[in-house]
Amino acid sequence: MSEQKYNPDQVLNDIHSCIRWFSENEKSTNIAATSEKLDRFNILLARFNELVMDAYDVEAEFEDDYKISYAKSIKELTDSGMSVNKAENEATVSLADKKKQWREATSVYKRFKSRLDRFDKIGDGKKQKISVSKMVELKNV
């Protein structure tokens, strides 16, 4: 897992600030200002993407930890004479906290990934709008 470089709350606040600016300036014909804000938005998306990748790494670590611990627990219990079914049940109960951590990490990753997908769509829409505006401007010249 890489060292966290950005504050997730700050990055999200900055992204939402850009989106708010886009909404407030929806009718603006100032392509330069919109392009500048879109550049800032894309930088923030790159930062947020790094946070998504970090969340994925954390989720994968928790998954690996749980699965390895689960397998070791079942092996130890079956080696001591316990049936496989009973060992699986006991391992599930004894590792409930690890599984909960894994589920929580998965949930965070999925939320971040979902937000990134939505932000990407917003950015793509703004890029298209700028392209259309430039084409219209060139036609009128």
User: Residues 29-79: pLDDT tens digits?
Assistant: 888 898 999 999 999 999 999 999 999 999 999 999 999 999 999 999 999
- Within a domain: residue 29? yes
The CA–CA distances, whole Å, from 129 to 20, 35, 57, 117, 125 equal 16, 10, 35, 19, 6
- Within a domain: residue 1? no
Query: Strand (E) positions, 1-141?
Result: none
Question: What pTM was computed for the model?
Answer: 0.80
- Within a domain: residue 24? yes
117: helix, strand or coil: helix
- Within a domain: residue 71? yes
- Within a domain: residue 111? yes
Domain that holds residue 92: 8-139
Closest CA to 46 of 5, 90, 105, 100: 5
- Number of domains observed in the structure of the chain: 1
- Within a domain: residue 2? no
- Within a domain: residue 3? no
